[in-house]
């Protein structure tokens, strides 16, 4: 079991706007404040490395909720400055990128500088990334898989250049230097929610990424397990599964609850986007698009007992019951995580949003320390077989 420290590197001072994605003017940011934010987050990741946690980076564009439009930048810094942590990006929105070979080059360099610690996450990206993309969402998954195929071929071709003449991408003389450190290539992670996507991830044996899906995560993992069974393969190990949840932890339960109230600002604000950008054409199936024209549905999940919880507006208690937030003392968080992991049938990678919103640097540092010292060892002691392979 690995736990990854994650922050979206937000700029929460601008979260009070009606739309904090796509069309929010960057005038709303003070770069001096943001500089400190970046430094604080990097220091938190350095502490995570020191204390035995791993590291997760993501990227979004044109938003105050995640001010990391280029995941390669913090990855590059951390590749040099950390000693042991796995460096996960989850991930690169490769269907929106124009240049998959450049992706392969960035990944290769980070993998070599970190001496083989890159975990290579590829994502389709949320709907509101599409309005920022040169390419529309029509045929996005086709493009995703072609980009994936090209990136992997570019990384694993070590006998000189090849040409790529695909439907979506065309290249001459693809020849990636440096050669990747991890052979034949760094581990691949892909996020998925639709059964067909999960099947495609399972067929390739990749790590399945799931975010904030609560107790519904069990169904998502079951799609993966079933795909393996259908292929006549052994049951997938726990290290094929990852889940992202929010952790608010303190020695004192009241303080943890206060931190949860601060951190939940992420959930409250992250879906705040001007209407036309939330449902880009081609992103959803025609059937789903029809339902969206009629009425917009709330995004949510269910508690273990089947109660619907609105991901963006639910009360903290409900978000804890739903397995989206893990809140309390180290004992509480350990207990909640253990129960959640058992319910979803095992987990190899817990992606911990350990910093969000206006949580201070000092608070984030304390959270990382508590999780590293008082939660992770107990989870691993409880399930010695689940220790990272």
Partner 1 sequence: MEGASIESVIEKIGGLDIEIVRRGRGRPVLFLHPHIGFWGAGRFVDAMAKHAEVIAPAHPGFGRSALAKGMTTVDDLSYFYLDLLEQLDLRDVVLVGASFGGWLAAAIATKTCERLARLVMLGAVGVKLGARDRTDVVDIFATPRSKWEEVSFHDPAHGRRDYSALPDEELQAMARNREATALFAWNPYMYDPKLFGRLHRIRIPTLFLWGAADRFAPAGYGRGYCAAVRGAVFEEVAGAGHFPHIEQPEAVAARIAEFALGKQLEKQP
Query: Minimum distance between the CB of residue 92 and partner 1, rounded to whole angstroms?
Result: 20
Residues 6+ apart with CB under 8 A from 177: 105, 108
Q: Closer to partner 1 at the Cβ: 136 or 216? A: 136
Smallest distance from the beta carbon of 168 to partner 1, in angstroms?
10
Query: Judged by CB, which is closer to partner 1: 161, or 281?
Result: 281
**CA-to-CA dists, residue 63 to 12, 76, 94, 155, angstroms:** 10, 22, 18, 31
Alpha carbon of residue 332 to chain centroid = 24
C-alpha distances out from residue 249 to 206, 258, 302, 304, 358, Å: 31, 10, 23, 22, 15
Q: How far apart are CA 173 and CA 80, in angstroms?
A: 30
Query: Shortest Cβ distance from residue 192 to partner 1 (Å)?
Result: 22
Phi/psi for 82 (5° steps) reads -95, 165
Q: How far is the CB of 366 from partner 1 (least distance, A)?
A: 42
Nearer to partner 1, 279 or 343 (CB): 279
Query: Smaller CB distance to partner 1: residue 3 or 137?
Result: 137
Nearer to partner 1, 159 or 167 (CB): 167
Q: Which is nearer to partner 1, 194 or 290 (CB)?
A: 290
Q: How far is the CB of 99 from partner 1 (least distance, A)?
A: 16
Place of tokens 């970190």: 114
Nearest to 74 by CA among 87, 63, 86: 87
How far out from the chain centre does Cα 377 lie? Answer: 23
| Cβ proximity of 103 and 92 under 8 Å | yes
User: Residue 367: how many CB atoms within 10 A of its CB?
Assistant: 24
Q: How far is the CB of 298 from partner 1 (least distance, A)?
A: 16
Q: How far is the CB of 61 from partner 1 (least distance, A)?
A: 15
Sign (positive or negative) of CA dihedral 185, 200, 216, 268:
positive
Measuring CA to CA, how many Å separate 258 from each of 237, 264, 270, 359?
Answer: 36, 10, 20, 10
Asked if 171 and 164 touch (Cβ cutoff 8 Å), the reply is yes
Q: How many residues in total does the chain contain?
A: 389
Question: Shortest Cβ distance from residue 123 to partner 1 (Å)?
Answer: 20
Name the residue nearer to partner 1 (CB basis): 231 or 290.
290
Which residue's CB is nearer to partner 1, number 51 or number 126? Answer: 126
Interface residues with partner 1 (CB under 8 A)? Answer: 23, 131, 134-139, 167, 274-277, 280-282, 286, 289-290, 293-295
């Amino acid at each position: 079991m690995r736990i990854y420290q994650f922050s979206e590197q937000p700029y929460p001072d601008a979260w009070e706007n009606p739309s904090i994605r796509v069309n929010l003017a960057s005038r709303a940011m003070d770069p001096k404040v943001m500089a400190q934010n970046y430094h604080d987050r990097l220091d938190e990741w350095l502490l995570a490395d020191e204390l035995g946690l791993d590291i997760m980076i993501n990227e979004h564009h044109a938003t105050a909720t995640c001010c990391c439009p280029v995941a390669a930048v913090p990855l590059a810094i951390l590749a040099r400055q950390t000693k042991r942590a796995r460096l996960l990006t989850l991930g690169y929105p490769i269907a929106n990128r124009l240049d998959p070979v450049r992706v392969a080059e960035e990944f290769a360099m980070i993998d070599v500088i970190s001496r083989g610690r890159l975990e290579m996450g590829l994502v389709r990206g949320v709907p509101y990334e599409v309005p920022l993309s040169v390419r529309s969402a029509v045929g996005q998954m086709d493009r995703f898989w072609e980009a994936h195929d090209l990136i992997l071929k570019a990384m694993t071709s070590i006998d000189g250049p090849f040409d790529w003449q695909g439907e979506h991408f065309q290249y001459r003389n693809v020849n990636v230097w440096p050669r990747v450190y991890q052979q034949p290539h760094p581990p691949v992670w892909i996020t998925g929610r639709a059964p067909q996507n999960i099947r495609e991830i399972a067929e390739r044996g990749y790590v399945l990424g799931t975010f904030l899906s609560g107790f519904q995560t069990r169904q998502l993992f079951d799609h993966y397990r079933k795909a393996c069974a259908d292929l006549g393969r052994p049951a997938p190990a726990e290290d094929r599964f990852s889940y992202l949840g929010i952790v608010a932890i303190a020695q004192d339960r009241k303080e943890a609850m206060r931190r949860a109230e601060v951190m939940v600002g992420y959930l409250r604000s992250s879906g705040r986007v001007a209407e036309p950008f939330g449902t880009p054409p081609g992103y959803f199936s025609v059937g789903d698009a029809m339902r969206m024209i009629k009425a917009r549905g709330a995004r949510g999940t269910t508690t273990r007992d089947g109660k619907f919880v609105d991901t963006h507006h639910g009360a903290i208690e409900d978000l804890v019951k739903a397995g989206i937030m893990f809140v309390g003392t180290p004992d509480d968080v350990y207990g909640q995580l253990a129960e959640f992991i058992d319910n979803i049938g095992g987990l190899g990678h817990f992606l911990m949003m350990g910093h969000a919103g206006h949580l201070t640097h000092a608070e984030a540092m304390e959270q990382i320390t508590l999780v590293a010292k008082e939660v992770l060892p107990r989870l691993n002691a409880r399930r010695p077989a689940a220790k990272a392979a």
